[in-house]
Amino acid sequence: MLEHRIGLIGAGQMAAALARGMVDAELVAAERLLASDPREEARCAFAEATGGKTTANNAEVAAASDVLLLAVKPHQIAGVCREIGPGLASETLVVSIAAGVRLATLSESLGGHGRLVRVMPNTPCLVGQGACGFCRGEEATPEDAALVDQLLSAVGIAFELDEKLLDAVTGLSGSGPAFVYLILEALSDGGVLMGLPRNVATALAAQTVLGAAAMVRQTGEHPAVLKDRVASPGGTTIVGLQSLELDAVRGAIINAVEAAALRSEELGGS
């Protein structure tokens, strides 16, 4: 079990999910967690979910932490950093999950603090099935990266990447759950169209998506290989795949990831 004191500024759902994952994986003891949030309901929910301590004082959390997780909205980052920067120890590892906020912006807002890691998580972290990308600041060490990877792996999978690739992560795994929900809803609608009750259609669609994803993860095989195994000659699946290709579904999804990534790049530069 890690001996680090873990602080979280922001005690919302994502912060609670990450902290709960650390505790459940026995990486961090609950008594080594301290989270701040101006909302009493958020503090109470965090404490109940994780067993950690809470406060309304951001500076208190920053001063007491070996690893400090910034789990606030992007537009709140500058104000929070100005608040905690003066009392932040140079050896504190600061980890930001604020979407689109660049390392350079974080460092400047913290008065030049360089031991930074920027993370792009996604909402399935809330159920322990996250897909995250992260990058290191100039003063963060390989050991820091290994620690962040260990903490994020408590709620899914994580990859260390160059910062220039985090916009692509945003477009794929950050925005991707919404794309999958749209596909899942369409599968359910197709089942209803063909006579299935809505609850049955939605349950079958969700389990089908879950099962297909598990096949890719567990077998390590390319999705195209698994797809071809389902599509027997002259059968139902190949006809359905032909329909998807005629409607350019593959191109539409690729374009959606590209559009989301480009928007992330645009927002990060603004």
Helix (H, G, I), strand (E, B) or coil at 35: strand
Q: Is 221 helix (H, G, I), strand (E, B) or coil?
A: coil
Burial class (CB in 10 A: 0-12, 13-18, 19+), 268: middle
Summarised one tens digit per residue, pLDDT across range 29-46 is 999 999 999 999 999 999
- Residue ranges and CATH numbers for the domains of the chain are 6-166 (3.40.50.720), 174-268 (1.10.3730.10)
Q: Please give the pLDDT value at position 43.
A: 95
Amino acid at 254: I
Residue 270 confidence (pLDDT): 63
Whether 37 and 10 have beta carbons less than 8 Å apart is answered as yes
The region that residue 11 occupies, defined by phi over 0 for left and psi between -120 and 50 for alpha, beta otherwise, is alpha
| Prediction pTM value | 0.90
Confidence of residue 269 (pLDDT cuts 50, 70, 90): confident
Q: Is 90 exceeded by the pLDDT of residue 205?
A: yes
**Phi and psi (nearest 5°) for 5?**
-90, 120
Could you read off the pLDDT of 76-129 as tens digits, one per residue?
A: 999 999 999 888 898 999 999 988 899 999 999 998 998 999 999 999 998 999
